[in-house]
Structure 1
Amino acid sequence: MTLEVEVPDFGSGEHEPAERDLSVPAPEGEEPKNDDRPGKPRKRRRWLFWSVMVLLAVLAVAVLTPLTVGWRVWYQARQDETPRSDAIVVLGAAQYNGVPSPTLRWRLEHAVTLYRKGVAPAIVTVGGKMPGDNYTEADTGRNWLIKERGVPADRVVSVPVGNDTLESMQAVGRRFKQLEWDSAVIVTDPWHGLRSKKMAEDNGIRAAASPTRSGPSVQTRDTQFNYIVRETGGYLSYVLFGRSVRSPSELRPSVTPR
């Protein structure tokens, strides 16, 4: 009988290394030989995924917030809110040596219409004056209502403070507290309604808005679009930073009409 025995080959001096159990830590000073463990790629993919999600969320907020506010400006401009109130507040606009500008006159005319309909028993005119002016916007409006439209003097309150909407609304809020009033219908340009209401409410006034439907701010679609864009920025500036941006109607044209 012949026995065949397989003898290991020791001549080459090479041995296949045995696979190490990865659950056992490598000896001190020895680097792990397998860097392709599944944990690292998975963590990298997870980090990339959440980075993309955060970026998309930021972009969505940056895009959708102005669009939403712009829609609210547009929507508010189309509302005509005339609840029974303590007063009709006419926001200021340019005046020329005691004569209302076309924008201010349209607002005053609209306020007279609301007053005669019984929306409120009083009209409040608002606005200070520019350097070098002899008259304030508020006093110009009050005088015009009394002299040109026959509104009783004791029914018109002048608040001659402010060169922008925020300053004016703060002054109106203080005056309302003195008179123990708390509600108002604000008369201004259509696109200015949302920001005006917000500022009034922040100064303790339950506010509605009844905009004018005539004047420079509603002449063309391009004009309307520009006003909406500007008021969107103005509203965000106020809500986010507490700052007031002057509307175009609050800016004095370089040429005084004759």
Structure 2
Amino acid sequence: MFKHHLNKHKLRLIVLGLASALLIAIASTATSIYFYGSTKSNFQADAAIVLGAAVWGDKPSPVFRERINHAINLYQNGDVSTLIFTGGVGTSDELAEAIVGKRYAVSKGVKASHILLETTSRTTYQNLQNASEIAAAYPLKKFLIVSDPLHLKRSVLMARNLGLDAHPSPTPTTRYQSLNSQLPFLMRETYFYFIYLIFKI
């Protein structure tokens, strides 16, 4: 009886220890994701890869617009010479995200000849995989990954695992500024970061 009670106590301690370790790992990862987005690459690259986001008809959503605006600023400041827009069609009645991004950038003065597109991706990994395939056909070696700050740790890891010399370039403005909007996004990114580490997708 005493031995049985002792075994149950040991099992309880093991479970508690594993749960504590998991919580520490999750909290540590979430913290690193949060602070990673404040990293800015203050150097020139060959191209900016703009990760896709939702479009509203023929216009970029507020989230996507801020990513495009940041990429335009990089281009106009001479930090990159090429923009690569990514993203396919969310619903059948919408334009591809990349096409909307290109049209917006051209309307702001970016030369169409300095823009490359991939229009079939539906996920962040596909964004980067397709962009890397397009970039391989050009003399593009170094890349800035443009997205919201909390999205960048996972995105840059993916890009580097795809063989890209990739560096974070977070949008200076984002709709995810308040705690109420940041927390769900951070939880989502932490979840997908672990999913990527396990399945590499």
TM-score, normalised via structure 1 length: 0.70
3-state DSSP class of the match of 1:186?
A: strand
1:34-83 CA-partner distances (Å, limit 9, x unpaired): xxxxxxxxx99x98897677545523431111111101111112222233
1:63 paired residue number: 23
Q: How far has the Cα of 1:201 moved from its partner?
A: 1.0
Contact preservation (8 Å) 2:85, 2:98: yes
After TM superposition, list the pairs within 5 Å mapping 1:94-105 onto structure 2: 94-105=54-65
Q: How far has the Cα of 1:138 moved from its partner?
A: 0.4
1:16 paired residue number: none
Query: Could you list the runs of 4 or more consecutive aligned residues of structure 1 that deviate by over 6 angstroms after TM superposition?
Result: 46-50
Q: How far has the Cα of 1:157 moved from its partner?
A: 0.8
After TM superposition, list the pairs within 5 Å mapping 1:83-232 onto structure 2: 83-146=43-106, 148-218=107-177, 220-232=178-190
Pairwise CA RMSD: 2.3
| Structure with bigger RCO (C-alpha 8 Å, 6+ apart) | 2
TM-score, normalised via structure 2 length: 0.88
Contact preservation (8 Å) 2:38, 2:149: yes
Structure with greater proportional strand content? 2
Amino acid at match of 2:80: A
Amino acid at match of 1:184: F
3-state DSSP class of the match of 2:152?
A: helix
In structure 2, C-alpha distance between the alignment counterparts of 1:94 and 1:181, rounded to whole Å = 27
Amino acid at match of 2:23: V
1:35 paired residue number: none
State the identity %: 26
Aligned pairs, number: 199
3-state DSSP class of the match of 1:217?
A: coil
Q: 1:134 to 1:222 in 2, by over 3 A?
A: closer
In structure 1, C-alpha distance between the alignment counterparts of 2:146 and 2:48, rounded to whole Å = 7
1:77 paired residue number: 37
3-state DSSP class of the match of 1:178?
A: coil
3-state DSSP class of the match of 1:179?
A: coil
After TM superposition, list the pairs within 5 Å mapping 1:34-73 onto structure 2: 54-55=14-15, 57-73=17-33
In structure 1, C-alpha distance between the alignment counterparts of 2:196 and 2:190, rounded to whole Å = 10
1:175-229 CA-partner distances (Å, limit 9, x unpaired): 12222423211111111011110111111111111111323222x1111122111
In structure 2, C-alpha distance between the alignment counterparts of 1:134 and 1:225, rounded to whole Å = 29
3-state DSSP class of the match of 2:93?
A: coil
